[in-house]
Structure 1
Amino acid sequence: MAEFHPPHGASPLPNIPDDLSIPQFFLDFNHPARPVRPHGVPWLVEDHTARPIAFDELRLRTAGLANALSSKWNIAENDVICIYSPNHVDYPVCIWATHKLGAIVTPANPGYSADELVHQLTTTSTKLLLVYTDFLPTALSAARLAGLPEDRIVVIEPSAASPFNGKHETVSKLVSFGSSKPQNFIERKLRPGEAKTKVAFYSFSSGTTGKPKAVVIPHYACIANVLQKVAHYGLNDPSLKKKHMNPGEVAIAVLPFFHIYGLVVVMHYLLFAGLSLVVVPKFNFTEFLKSIVRHKITHLFLVPPQIVLLCKHPATKNYDLSHVSFCASGAAPLSGELMSSLRHILPNAAIGQGYGMTETCTTISLMGGRQRMGTEGSAGQLIPGILARVVHPDGSLCKEGEQGELVVTGPSMALGYLNNIQATDETFVDGWVRTGDEVIMRNSEVFVIDRLKEIIKVKGFQVAPAELEGHLLLHPAVADACVVPIPDDYSGEIPLAYIVLREDAQKRVLKSPREGEQLKAALKKHVADTKIAYKRLAGGVIFIDAIPKNPSGKILRRVLRDQARVQVSQRAKL
């Protein structure tokens, strides 16, 4: 078999409108596949106050904010707005208001340093920055460096405890202003087929070299992936008596909305499916448990580090989680051992994994709609609309059960990388996306074996080794560097650096072991001072005589990665 399809008997893919923007699809259009949300069931719930937010409020706030953005800054077609914020009930409002104007959203990680945020602002030519108050100082520094005027910074929510001086507009004030004025813009109707190329998001994804790249995602891709999941879970299948999710159930939105998993799966899909989202700004495990109980959460969409805590943290036993009926894990592989442990923590829940990428506008595979437990080691079944190939290194196609690189196509694929032709040509080939993951396919299920790409996955976040290596080489003691992943029970993987020292530093270390430990600490600090927390060298630093390379000078990263895994395994046995 040269190509792999969703399982036989999967629900057919509903019609995907190709002339609607995302807010038009969600707020103005009643798609026949949309489950009916019961009367009085809110779309969003603010976690700490339990304040419910209904459809009408979201729709009015979206229209008001869009009008204000148009009136005050003339935000229009293809302008870019960056959202630099943790989860917030106004996050979807900010997205949909931007899209109503034909503009583009680039979601940024609020943990970014100023330098990292500058890269995103300049790469996307951002015109306006929406920032949560707590992160205003970093946003101001980045804006100055990126040449973005201070009057183009909008605060999402002022706070007495945060350094907010009242100089900036706030989202709530803009909503009031925009709602009180005549409409200043004409919302454009897309031509048939235009949603396939009309850009909605510049979502950042790390490549194997250099800094993160902006993935160009059209409106159609997000809408398509929502409808693909509706079909996969059989939400409108009358023969499926017990569905994984039903309108009126409650999910916790603790995964960050800036990440493609939180953005498409949690925010957009679950809202379309008729669930209420309890919006949590920041993950704190004990508070997370309290929220699950307080709001009677039925659905958990998590990443492996959060599942590790559920299974191993002593606080879990203090909470009754029997009302949880569904738990999905994604962004990184979940071991069979953890899945087995989770069954005891969530005795009434269907449990499984999913797999996807920013470049595929999220989901490629999910636990089947009729499965109560996902197949151990499986990243799920291909969802409707996805076609997959598994490719040998020589380019020939693998048969079922053979190992090779997963290559996929479908209606949700991104368009490429912004202003990066070389990277686009390497990943997006004739409508197919090279995932960089080595897999085996069995019975339409994806089993991820290894990563061909050099990306490190820390708590589900992507870390490019080359970015850290380039930064380490700036340190005066470093002659060469190679960063590899090592396994970690909590984070999945963490970065470890192999360092070749310059001759003078090497002599100092040979003379004094204490000097070596101080230098390792200095190198870890060198990274920590300028990189977001998940990019730091949590795996440590190892000095080495030479970095193994092939004749053309390319780092043989797998050699050191395998060596590091052996060392970690040996330490674990001691």
Structure 2
Amino acid sequence: MVEIRGVGGPLPRIPDDLTLAQFMLDSHTPIKPVRKEGIPWLIDDETGRRVGFEELRMRTFGLANALKLKYNIGEDDVVCIYSSNHVDYPVAIWATHRLGAIVSGANPSYTAPELAYQLELTKSSVILVHPGSLPTALKAASLAKIPTNRIILFDPLPQSGLPTLDQLINEGLSNEASFVERRLKPGEGKKKLAFLSFSSGTTGKPKAVAIPHYSPIANVIQMAVQQKVNEDDKPWDGRRFRPGDVSSGVLPFYHIYGLVVNLHLMLLSGLTVVVTAKFNFEEFLKSIQRYKITHVWAVPPHVVLLCKHPSVKNYDLSSVRYLMAGAAPLSAELTTQLTKVLRNSDLGQGYGMTETCTVVTMYPTAQKIGTLGSAGQLIPGCVARVVKEDGSIAKIGEIGELVVRSPSNALGYFLNEEATRETFVDGWVRTGDEVYFNENAELFVVDRLKELLKVRGFQVAPAELEGHLMDHPDIADCCVIGIPDEFSGDLPLAFVVLDNKAAQRVAKDPTEADKIKASIIKYVADHKIKYKQLAGGVEFIGSIPRNPSGKLLRRLLRDQAKESRASEGGKAKAKL
């Protein structure tokens, strides 16, 4: 049996008797650096407002006190946060935890029925809402039968009649404590729920992942140990994470990557997080330059823009010393392009999922540039197996499904025993990802099992073709799907977003479109075996649909291709 184990450690004790709020705000651990006076925890990207430790701690108490006084929030109640990133987002989380309640972060782009589904499944008691999302929140609350007076705004909205966080915090601070903070018994942190975070599954409705307090605490400690936070292993200038460094904060905090890595790991490591409400690439470049951001947490679409967008050359990005991409595989080709943009940065990938809360692998501190195409090495405390289709355990270099055991693993899916049994098996999480490990114990993600194409009996990974296509000079972004074919099974079809210059050529001369498509097909044909070629063709599209964590929404493009071919009155045929 081949099991791969995380390198590094040993891990310090992972507290199993603390809530996440207590771990972040009240406790001390050898891995937590001391911030010098004047180093803020958070900066609001838009206004420049700086928020320090004492203010965060004070606001957390004030909000917790008001939530208890006004709404009687207590043990195991659920507070839904339906908002883009905000400097008070962690305050909302930790205040909820102070009361023994549970946080459920919702995508601020949800429609009313989607939000109502989350509210109903989690049985949310109150909703904290960004003003821009209020109309949807009101509709969803009505559908979920939550009274309007249980909606709270992050910022004022004239004539809404709804309370704001500032108002509640001031009310809470002006009153005596109305609650006794929840204290966990030894071991209780492994079961006491902190989050109901929704998994971005590609089939069916999203599932609520039940995450106890112990899981994010464990994962932050695991990452800190692997990344040598607060260790004297190198001179100050050579350390990867240092108090006083500045991290981007563009990843959505409702998503597990943004929540655990971008927010909690960075704050624990002594970095300042520049909180950005809504991602706009040019504004992001300005933010890097304005705040001299040193650490960037990214998803592949961000990397594509850094490599391809014409505005990049107009900004000074020399402050960036570190970038990690996650949430979806990043091709070797794109990583190579990125090294030419951020020449002095450590660059690499990590891998994780909501069900493992969060990170399973990261590129280690020994590598300035992570091994191309690799998602890094297992963090300490993680154990992995690769299970082949026949159920046997794969050897090094063999492909199969990644199965992971980690102290950070979630408990299962909330109120969904069937799905829990399928994914959470005897302490292991079945990831649904097709992977292999090399001889250096580095993880390589081939693709989602359900996304692999079968072309004439051969397996074709869309991610491989996408990585190759991104080096074509006319392509700004792309996604490969399979379209059904009676002869071949699947035919690879590339949806392509044209580079600005190529799009301008097509606008001036429509015949350029066919020339570009032919060149793309030839580009793949010149480099890939026949069954990997684009027999399904090339289609131009304005943008590639992705979820907020950066994962490609192939299902939407498959549906679009199906409808397109149905309207043409026939199925696509292979070009033999």
The two structures have a TM-score, normalised by structure 1, of: 0.81
Cα displacement string for residues 409-465 of structure 1 (whole angstroms, at most 9, x for unaligned residues):
011000000110010000000000000111111222111112114599xxxxxxxxx
2:178 is matched with 184
* CA–CA separation in structure 1 for the residues paired with 2:268 and 2:373: 29
CA offsets, 1:70-110, max 9 Å, x none? 00010000000100000000000000000100000000000
Residue 197 of structure 1 deviates from its aligned partner by: 0.5
1:195-234 correspondence to structure 2 within 5 Å: 195-207=189-201, 209-234=203-228
Q: Establish whether residue 447 from structure 1 lines up as the match of residue 447 from structure 2.
A: no
RMSD of aligned C-alpha atoms?
Answer: 2.8
Q: Which runs of 5+ in 2 are unaligned?
A: 454-461, 471-475, 486-540
1:99/1:453 CA distance change after superposition, 3 Å: farther
Mapped contact 1:298–1:324 kept (Cα < 8 A): yes
AA paired with 1:406?
L
**CA gap 1:98/1:495 in 2 versus in 1, 3 angstroms:** farther
The residue number in structure 1 matching 2:112 is 114
What corresponds to 1:328 in structure 2?
324
After superposition, where does 1:126-141 map in structure 2 within 5 Å? 126-141=124-139
Q: Is the 8 A contact 1:428 1:434 kept in 2?
A: yes
Equivalent residues in 2 for 1:260-279, closer than 5 Å: 260-279=256-275
Task: Deviation per CA, 1:199-246: give whole Å up to 9, x if none.
Answer: 000000133541000000010000000000110101233233422111
Equivalent positions of 1:97-496 (< 5 A) are: 97-159=95-157, 164-207=158-201, 209-241=203-235, 242-442=238-438, 443-453=440-450, 487=466, 493=479
Distance between the aligned counterparts of 1:340 and 1:152, measured in 2? 50
The one-letter code of the counterpart of 2:317 is L
Match of 1:12 in 2: 10
Q: Deviations over 1:463-482 (max 9, x none)?
A: xxxxxxxxxxxxxxxxxxxx
- Deviations for 1:137-190, whole angstroms, at most 9, x for unmatched residues? 00000000110100010011124xxxx523111100000000000111100210
Task: Say whether the 8 Å CA contact 1:496–1:541 is kept in structure 2.
Answer: no
Q: Deviation per CA, 1:383-432: give whole Å up to 9, x if none.
A: 00100011112221111111111100011000000110010000000000
Match status 1:542 vs 2:569: no
Contact 1:293 1:319 in 2 (8 A): yes
Residue-pair matches, total: 491
Q: What is the alpha-carbon distance in structure 1 between the residues aligned to residue 384 and residue 323 of structure 2?
A: 25
CA distance in 1, matches of 2:101, 2:214: 15
Name the SS for the 1:542 alignment partner. helix
Partner-residue secondary structure (3-state), 1:244: coil
Contact 2:230–2:242 under 8 Å retained in 1: no
Output the CA distance in 2 between the equivalents of 1:321 and 1:108: 32
**Matched letter for residue 399 of structure 1:** K
**CA–CA distance in 2 between the matches of 1:166 and 1:55?**
31
SS, match of residue 118 in structure 2: helix
Gaps spanning 5+ residues in structure 1: where? 457-483, 500-523, 547-559
Query: For 1:74 and 1:19, how far apart are their aligned partners in 2?
Result: 24
Please state how far the C-alpha of 1:344 moved relative to its aligned partner. Answer: 1.3
Counterpart of 1:469? Answer: none
Give deviations 1:34-84, integer Å, cap 9, x for gaps: 112122100000111111100000000000000000000100000001000
SS across alignment from 2:562: strand
Question: CA, structure 1 residues 532+255, in 2 after alignment: closer, same or farther (shift >3 Å)?
Answer: closer
Residue 72 of structure 1 is aligned with which of 49, 70, 73?
70
**Secondary structure in structure 1 of the residue aligned to 2:261:** helix
Task: Letter of the 2:301 partner, please give it.
Answer: P
Alignment CA distance shift 1:72-1:437 (3 Å)? same
1:44–1:53 CA contact under 8 A, matched in 2: yes
> For residues 496 and 406 of structure 1, do their structure 2 counterparts lie closer, same or farther at Cα, with a shift above 3 Å needed?
closer
CA offset at residue 284 of structure 1?
0.5
Whether the 8 Å CA contact 1:233–1:243 is kept in 2: the answer is: no
Distance (whole Å) between structure 2 residues aligned to residue 74 and residue 389 of structure 1: 45
From the superposition, tell whether residues 151 and 195 of structure 1 become closer, same or farther in structure 2 (CA, over 3 Å): same
Contact 2:353–2:359, Cα closer than 8 Å, also in 1: yes
Q: Do 1:84 and 1:131's aligned partners in 2 also have CA atoms closer than 8 Å?
A: yes
Following the alignment from structure 1 to structure 2, what is the Cα–Cα distance between the partners of residues 157 and 252? 22
In the alignment, which residue of structure 1 is the partner of 2:87? 89
Output the CA distance in 1 between the equivalents of 2:52 and 2:22.
17
3-state SS of the aligned residue for 2:443? Answer: strand
- Equivalent residue letter for 2:34: V
Alignment correspondent of 2:43: 45
Cα separation, partners in 2 of 1:379 and 1:204, compared to 1, 3 Å: same
Q: Distance in 2 between matches of 1:374 and 1:256?
A: 24
Inter-partner Cα distance in structure 2 for 1:200 and 1:339: 35
Identity of aligned residues (%): 54
Secondary structure of 1:262's counterpart equals: helix
Secondary structure, in 3 states, of the residue corresponding to 2:5? coil
State the partner residue of 2:23.
Answer: 25
